[in-house]
Amino acid sequence: MLITRAATFDEIHRAFRWNLPERYNIARDVCDRHAADPARTALIHERGDGSVAHYSFRQIRCLANQCANTLRHLGLVQGDRVLIYLGQDPATAVAHVACWKAGLISVPTSLLFGTDALAYRLRDSGAKLLITDAAHWPNVAAVREQAPHLAHVMLVDGKGAGTLDFWAELARATDEFETLALTPDTPAFINYTSGTTGQPKGTLQGHRSMLGHMPGLELVYDFLPQPGDVMWSPADWSWLAGLMDVLMPAWFCGLPVLTYRNTSFDPEEAFHLMGKHRVRISLLTPTMLRRLSVVPDPLRRHGVALRSVISGGESVGRETLEWARGALGIEINEVFGQTECNIVLGNCTQVLAPKPGSLGKALPGHVAAIVDDHGHPLSADTVGNIAFRRPDPVMLLEYWNKPEATRDKFAGDWLLTGDLGRCDEDGYYWYMSRADDVITSAGYRIGPGEIEDALNGHPAVAMSAVIGVPDPVKTEAIRAFVLLRPGNTASAELAEAIRDSVRTRLARHECPRDVVFVESLPLTATGKIMRRELRRLPVT
- Comparing C-alpha atoms, which of 231, 229, 259 is closest to residue 245? 231
pLDDT confidence of residue 274: 97
Q: What is the pLDDT confidence band of residue 528, given thresholds at 50, 70 and 90?
A: low
Q: What CATH number has the domain bearing residue 56?
A: 3.40.50.12780
| Partners of 435 in the β-ladder | none
Instruction: List the alpha helices (DSSP H) in 3-102.
Output: 9-15, 26-30, 57-73, 90-101
Contacts of 458 (CB under 8 A, 6+ apart): 497, 498, 501
Separation between Cα atoms, residue 499 and residue 509, nearest integer Å: 11
Residue 142, SS3 per DSSP: helix
Q: What is the pLDDT confidence band of residue 226, given thresholds at 50, 70 and 90?
A: very high
pLDDT confidence of residue 525: 52
pLDDT confidence of residue 540: 55
Separation between Cα atoms, residue 303 and residue 280, nearest integer Å: 11
Query: What phi and psi values does residue 90 have, to the nearest 5 degrees?
Result: -55, -35
Taking CB atoms within 8 Å and a gap of at least 24, the contacts of 380-385 are 380/422, 380/423, 380/424, 380/425, 381/422, 381/423, 381/424, 381/425, 382/422, 383/420, 383/421, 383/422, 383/432, 384/420, 384/421, 384/422, 385/411, 385/414, 385/416, 385/417, 385/418, 385/419, 385/420, 385/435
Residue 211, SS3 per DSSP: helix
Query: What phi and psi values does residue 344 have, to the nearest 5 degrees?
Result: -120, -20
Specify if 4 maps to a domain: no
The DSSP output letter for 510 is G
pLDDT confidence of residue 45: 97
For 415-451, b/e burial (b = at least 16 CB within 10 A) is bbbbbbbbbeeebbbbbeebbebbbbbbbbbbbbbbb
Q: Given strand 257-260, what is the order of strands in its sheet?
A: 52-56, 41-46, 257-260
Q: How many domains does the chain have?
A: 2
- Comparing C-alpha atoms, which of 410, 468, 460 is closest to residue 441? 468
**CB of 284 within 8 A of CB of 312?**
no
Specify if 167 maps to a domain: yes
**CB of 64 within 8 A of CB of 94?**
yes
> For residue range 436-467, what is the model confidence (pLDDT) as tens digits?
677 888 778 787 877 887 898 899 998 888 99
Domain coverage including residue 454? 439-534
> For residue range 409-428, what is the model confidence (pLDDT) as tens digits?
999 999 999 888 899 999 99
For the cut 50, the answer to whether the pLDDT of residue 514 exceeds it is: yes
Specify if 218 maps to a domain: no
Q: What is the pLDDT confidence band of residue 263, given thresholds at 50, 70 and 90?
A: confident
The DSSP output letter for 410 is E
Q: DSSP letters along 146-179, please? A: G-TT--EEEETT---TT-EEHHHHHHTS-S----
Specify if 457 maps to a domain: yes
- Comparing C-alpha atoms, which of 497, 494, 513 is closest to residue 505? 497
Please tell me whether the peptide bond between 225 and the residue prior to it is cis, using omega within 30 degrees of 0: yes
Specify if 528 maps to a domain: yes
**CB of 436 within 8 A of CB of 196?**
yes
- The pLDDT mean for the chain works out to 93
pLDDT confidence of residue 526: 46
Q: What CATH number has the domain bearing residue 465?
A: 3.30.300.30
Q: What is the pLDDT confidence band of residue 217, given thresholds at 50, 70 and 90?
A: very high
Q: Last residue of a domain, which of 171, 199, 227?
A: 199
Side chain identity at residue 198, one-letter code: G
Residue 99, SS3 per DSSP: helix
pLDDT confidence of residue 527: 53
Separation between Cα atoms, residue 511 and residue 508, nearest integer Å: 5
Q: What is the pLDDT confidence band of residue 224, given thresholds at 50, 70 and 90?
A: very high
Residue 389, SS3 per DSSP: strand
Separation between Cα atoms, residue 164 and residue 443, nearest integer Å: 35
Mean pLDDT on 310-319? 83
**CB of 314 within 8 A of CB of 201?**
no
Specify if 106 maps to a domain: yes
Separation between Cα atoms, residue 378 and residue 84, nearest integer Å: 42
pLDDT confidence of residue 530: 77
Q: What count of residues does the chain have?
A: 540
Q: Last residue of a domain, which of 149, 164, 199?
A: 199
Specify if 171 maps to a domain: yes
pLDDT confidence of residue 371: 96
For the cut 70, the answer to whether the pLDDT of residue 244 exceeds it is: yes
Q: Last residue of a domain, which of 199, 214, 236?
A: 199
Specify if 353 maps to a domain: no
